[in-house]
Structure 1
């Protein structure tokens, strides 16, 4: 019997695996997708090769790219960007690591506290959470992002609308700042040249400014896996988990099994209480099935697969909130066409932001051409211009909101380094109609009944929609102040880059699945440790840092509750994933 089985090696699962393996527990980490063991061979800078939903390297599907992707039912027009594989969706995230808005927690007493989703606050305080933020910020590590031209342009626009600079990491007022991100700072030749021969490790270290953040991160070439620039969990927490016996006295190396799609959480009833006992999984390459027991099971398969697996396992759902309350930051996109170069496609994708507590946040995003075309054509308001027929909202943008087509699309793509993109991250409400359930329309696949994801736009709360529009207006103002000659608001349909809260923790047992320690209310010894556990949308902030801080807290609670251990976050100094001891362990183990 294992001590702990962790389901999913994405943003949260490897955090629990690393922390508990470092404490000497026997941890099995299962991942449905492949392990990209050689990023320099497995990942490229070619956008379609990496990002194609059906056959790309970074998709929700099996290792064999000739096989179809794993299907989800989405009754509304929407786009789910999850990735199967070790590292999960952190393989194509931008590494942004802001802390949550303090107003999302139950100890917030600011004058604007009623501006948040007060019915669904985190069931503990921000003051407590900060010690776990500090731990993860050290491990990854999180640093102030390296700046480039597009960030300077964004900052100029922020100054132009009268925003001050944010001091510190806690977002307590309207302000702008560099991102806090987990992308290693450029060193040596990195950021100073585009000559390939000069951008190999150790001549170049950290971010090489290649501009291909969405295509994984293989930079710098020849760097050890734990020194790849972007701190996806496949480059940070996973290598630490697999070498915990080498860098931590008393530690025990976790075991990773990739291509292992968990199909059932096995449980039993003891003294009238349902208790998790282990899992069953299917090898997606051979088709063979396996089972293993554990004292604790941690569910970290993502906001869609967590409720799917729960329901397919026949686990209890007495209040109906398994899969409910899904938040996605109600994203929107605003493009400024600039009369000068912004170097939008170069460097880390997103290194500057402006935060608006109670509303959400906006951040600049630079993209290569195909992704730029995708974002400029993705809208719920039809085509801009004569064909819009009054669908899109008017505002401080040019014309009505809607997708660019024809001559206007040519304007956008004529030079992607003369645009500035702003992504809107809305502080959206937890709402019961936003739901992951099991499909009654499509047949089951080899892993059981498939998930159905319902997250409409037009049924959103008045607060969510008002927040979204206000942020779009601020984004347009920033672009105009920076000199944009045209401002295009897309009015995105649901683009599920950020998903949270489908298995949410909460103080109220009537509308939450997890207690304040992230243990399932109706299944003992079962915890959730990914974005699904988040109580709300974090005030509109990028969720990964909060998920990883919460997963650290959850690992500590598991260790104390079921293994008789002591808390460590206050008593130890965390080891960074780029420390020389970790690099030596990674090289010794041949990772």
Structure 2
């Protein structure tokens, strides 16, 4: 019997695995997708090769790309941009690591309290999570992003809006700043040349400004895996989990099983209570099924797959909230076209942001060509100027909202894409019970059981959520105008399910939450959740990964204390960075 089984090696699972392995526990880490141990041999920077949802190496599917992607049902116009494999969606995330806003936590009494979904707040105060933020920030590590040309253009517009520069990690009011990113800053020749012969480690260290964050990070050339620039978990927490004896006095190496798709969580009745006892998984390559038992089971398969596994396992759901409350930051994009070079496709993809606590956030995003065209084309308002279907809103941007196509698209992309600045709108959206994950009613199941159906009803967006999104789109337009954009486009994006949270939410009340304040199931002892689905809300708008990882660290402490009689360590010890030489040598 194992001490702990963790299901999912994405953004949260490796955090729990690494922390508990460092305390000497026997941890089995299961991942449905592949483990790319040598990305430079397996990956390219070609966008379709990487991100095609059917055949890309960063898709939700098996590592054998001759086999089909795994099925999900999406009845509305939407797109789930998530990846399987060790590292999960952090393989192609941009590394943005801001902290959540204080207003989404218990005990907040600021003057903007009514701007937040206080019915679904964290069941503890913001201050309780701060030590865990610091621990993760030091472990990854999180660093202030460097500033290039596109960032200078964004900075110029933000300065002219009259909001202050933020200089702390805590956000307390409207402000702008460079991102806090889980990307190593450039050193040596990195960021100073595009000559591949001069971008080999150790001559080049940190981010090489290749511009391909979304295709997975494998830079600098010849760097050890834990020194790749982007701190996705396959470059940070996973190497630490696998080498725990080398850097932790009591450490025990995690057993990592890729291509192991969990299909059932097992429980038993003991002393009048339902307890988690183990997991059955299917070997993706051989179709063989295996079961192993453990004292604790941690689910970290993501906001869509965790409720699917729960429901396929027949686990308790007495209040009906498993899968409910799917928040997604109600994303939108506002893009400025400039007469000057902006360097939009160069460097880390997202290095600047504006925060508007109570509404959400704006962040600059740079995109390579195919993804940029995709961003222009994904809209709920039809084609700009051609349709007025009730969502083709007008405003301070140029013309009606909608897809940029034809002559406009040609103009925007004429000289490549390096005259653009994109601003991603991250709305602080309310928890809506009818936005949810259920098991599909289609007569088609895959090898792992009934598939997930992601159901988002745009009509259920609250008035407050819609008002936040409109406020932010107008602020993004103002920023671009003040920066000197000659044309501003607003896309009115259809749901791009990139920042997703809350389908297995923790909460104050048993009536509308799945987890208690320790992230343990209310109905099954020894069953915890450590991914974005455990978040009780959308954090007010900030990117979710850092908060999910801080919460996962806290959850690991609770497991160690309550099931293994151990003492907490965050606040008493100094975290070991994932870039520590002991990790490098062990690899």
Q: Verify same fold: TM over 0.5.
A: yes
* 3-state SS of 1:275 partner: strand
Aligned to 1:522: 523
Q: How does 1:382-401 map to 2 (within 5 A)?
A: 382-388=382-388, 391-401=391-401
Aligned to 1:179: 179
Aligned to 1:77: 77
Aligned to 2:426: 425
Question: Which 10-residue stretch deviates more, 160-169 or 397-406?
Answer: 160-169
Question: Which 10-residue stretch deviates more, 438-447 or 198-207?
Answer: 438-447
- Residue pair 1:95, 1:183 contacting (<8 A) in 2 also: yes
Structure 1 residue 391 displacement after superposition: 4.2
Structure 1 residue 559 displacement after superposition: 0.1
Aligned to 1:270: 270
Aligned to 2:42: 42
* 3-state SS of 1:234 partner: helix
Q: How does 1:366-377 map to 2 (within 5 A)?
A: 366-377=366-377
Equivalenced residue count is 586
- Residue pair 1:331, 1:425 contacting (<8 A) in 2 also: yes
Inter-partner Cα distance in structure 2 for 1:335 and 1:398: 11
Aligned to 1:5: 5
Structure 1 residue 270 displacement after superposition: 1.8
Inter-partner Cα distance in structure 2 for 1:391 and 1:265: 43
The one-character-per-residue Cα deviations of 1:222-277 (angstroms, maximum 9, x if unpaired) are 00000000000000000000110111111100000000000000111223321100
Aligned to 1:487: 488
Aligned to 1:243: 243
Aligned to 2:478: 477
- Residue pair 1:457, 1:494 contacting (<8 A) in 2 also: no
Aligned to 1:553: 554
Question: Which 10-residue stretch deviates more, 388-397 or 344-353?
Answer: 388-397
Aligned to 2:365: 365
Inter-partner Cα distance in structure 2 for 1:100 and 1:412: 34
Q: TM-score, normalised by structure 2?
A: 0.99
Structure 1 stretches of 4+ with a deviation exceeding 6 A read none
Aligned to 2:61: 61
Q: Which runs of 5+ in 2 are unaligned?
A: none
- Residue pair 1:51, 1:215 contacting (<8 A) in 2 also: yes
Inter-partner Cα distance in structure 2 for 1:461 and 1:566: 43
- Cα separation, partners in 2 of 1:232 and 1:340, compared to 1, 3 Å: same
Aligned to 2:157: 157
Q: How does 1:249-398 map to 2 (within 5 A)?
A: 249-388=249-388, 391-398=391-398
- Residue pair 2:381, 2:387 contacting (<8 A) in 1 also: no
Aligned to 2:30: 30
Report the aligned-residue RMSD: 0.8
Inter-partner Cα distance in structure 2 for 1:376 and 1:101: 30
The one-character-per-residue Cα deviations of 1:387-440 (angstroms, maximum 9, x if unpaired) are 446640011100011001100111221130000000000000001001100011
Inter-partner Cα distance in structure 2 for 1:539 and 1:171: 11
* 3-state SS of 1:385 partner: coil
- Residue pair 2:432, 2:460 contacting (<8 A) in 1 also: no
Inter-partner Cα distance in structure 2 for 1:117 and 1:389: 30
Inter-partner Cα distance in structure 2 for 1:37 and 1:509: 42
Aligned to 1:589: none
- Residue pair 2:381, 2:389 contacting (<8 A) in 1 also: no
* 3-state SS of 2:424 partner: strand
Inter-partner Cα distance in structure 1 for 2:92 and 2:487: 29
- Residue pair 1:388, 1:402 contacting (<8 A) in 2 also: no
